[in-house]
Structure 1
Amino acid sequence: MTDDARELADDVQELAEAQRQHWQNTYTTHPGMYGEKPSSPAVHAALVFRAAGAKDVLELGAGHGRDSLYFAREGFTAQATDFRPVGLKQLRRAAQEQGVAARLSTVVHDVRDPLSLPDASVDAAFAHMLLCMALSTKDVQALAAEVRRVLRPGGTLVYTVRHTGDAHYGAGTAHGDDIYEHGGFAVHFFPRHLVDSLADGWTLNQVHAFEEGDLPRRLWGVTQSLPQ
């Protein structure tokens, strides 16, 4: 590894740790900050998963779990993972209140680590704006490989990411690897070639451009599936 590459890796690692604490504090201070309604990508994903015959869904970066709760209410068995225990605690409480606790489980997990799931054990995976957090390209590629490992043949991945056409791309503090920190939040803005590379060996079913929020944030919604 070159000195520049080592410096970049150390910076991204330090940034990721800072972001972990930032998000933990944010969810503690503002429980349920995104509301109770599911995100529009989760509603779309549920339709895709049902059409594919999926029964169980893994959500990566669930936060306080509005989307995992939606999947459970829609009849899927959902496993929610996040590196923030406080959000998952809120999720378990909400699952009890909504009567879906039997269809929903939670696991504290850092996506830079391997998933604690057997090979080919999940029908579908979902991640809304997780891959574009403070993760290096190498981290993102490793995560995509882990998702591929745990999905069954024909399994489907739906994810969303902010891209390099976003208004905040290039703004704030640059951390390299298309990662910029603005207002305390670090984002890895995806170029299109990164989306294509993550679909290598998959069928890339859809890359849909959409906007979300007041800025608005500009995202891609990506749907890809494994061969049967």
Structure 2
Amino acid sequence: MAEEKDLAGIQRGHWQDTYTAHPGMYGERPSAPAVHAVGVFRSAGARDVLELGAGHGRDALFFAREGFAVQATDFSSVGLEQLRSAARAWDVEERVACAVHDVREPLPLPDASTDAVFAHMLLCMALSTKQIHALVGEVRRVLRPGGVFVYTVRHTGDAHYGVGTTYGDDIWEHGGFAVHFFPRDLVDDLAVGWSLDEVFAFEEGDLPRRLWRVTQTLPR
């Protein structure tokens, strides 16, 4: 438990420093998974979106520009301040709410209060399998019946799996960033009680990173 807290604190500090040194580090263009998610959310009739691990906000801002009301959370106050500034610049400030939050804690939303949840590479941060299950339980709690959860994770086929410092539980640190690489059975376990609509393999970045984009729907 102490080791998990130490790793979490180290990673939070690393992200704070990274966003400070590299403002808007991922650019203004939305990620490919966010572009895909807009179509999924619209098909489901969603009006509001909770983004977990929003960072400096390229995807949260995209959802807002597409007309969704967005609740953006991240454990980096530096990243979220950059998001707020960008929301003002894009004139979507009224559709974006930000909250500093660590997903190791319960989500700061009431039960059945949002239509859709999006998380790009948040679940594969330095979280234990137990913490990931608890987080998905929280996502289930805050989604309305029929709500949709779209998330992406790096998986055990990634080139960085098994490289660097290991913390056990498929967590490896390389270049200062700790990643929980997902085996396929973890994806299936997280979908128990949901409709698992899609597990889509894709690549991103220069390495490239190898990920799954997962879409699952809460029963009505």
8 Å contact 1:12–1:175 — kept in the other structure?
A: no
Is 1:132 the counterpart of 2:141? The answer is: no
Q: Distance in 2 between matches of 1:13 and 1:124?
A: 29
1:34 to 26, 34, 40: 26
Q: What SS does the corresponding residue of 1:170 show, helix, strand or coil?
A: coil
Is 1:54 the counterpart of 2:46? The answer is: yes
1:91 to 75, 83, 86: 83
What's the TM-score, normalizing by structure 1? 0.96
Q: Report the counterpart of residue 5 of structure 1 in structure 2.
A: none
In the TM superposition, residue 37 of structure 1 has moved relative to its aligned partner by 0.3
Q: Report the counterpart of residue 68 of structure 1 in structure 2.
A: 60
In the TM superposition, residue 13 of structure 1 has moved relative to its aligned partner by 2.3
Q: Report the counterpart of residue 153 of structure 2 in structure 1.
A: 161
Q: Distance in 1 between matches of 2:16 and 2:85?
A: 17
What's the TM-score, normalizing by structure 2? 0.99
Where does structure 2 lack aligned partners over 5 or more consecutive residues?
A: none
Where does structure 1 lack aligned partners over 5 or more consecutive residues?
A: 1-8
State the Cα RMSD in Å: 0.6
Q: Distance in 2 between matches of 1:152 and 1:93?
A: 30
Render the CA deviation track for 1:129-185: whole Å, top value 9, x for unaligned. Answer: 000000000110000000000000000000000000000000000100000000111
Question: Which residue identity lines up with residue 143 of structure 1 in the other structure?
Answer: L
The share of aligned pairs that are identical, in percent, is 73
In the TM superposition, residue 116 of structure 1 has moved relative to its aligned partner by 1.3
Question: Which residue identity lines up with residue 33 of structure 1 in the other structure?
Answer: M
1:181 to 173, 183, 188: 173
Q: Distance in 2 between matches of 1:188 and 1:169?
A: 9
8 Å contact 1:36–1:66 — kept in the other structure?
A: yes
Q: Report the counterpart of residue 208 of structure 1 in structure 2.
A: 200
Number of residue equivalences: 220
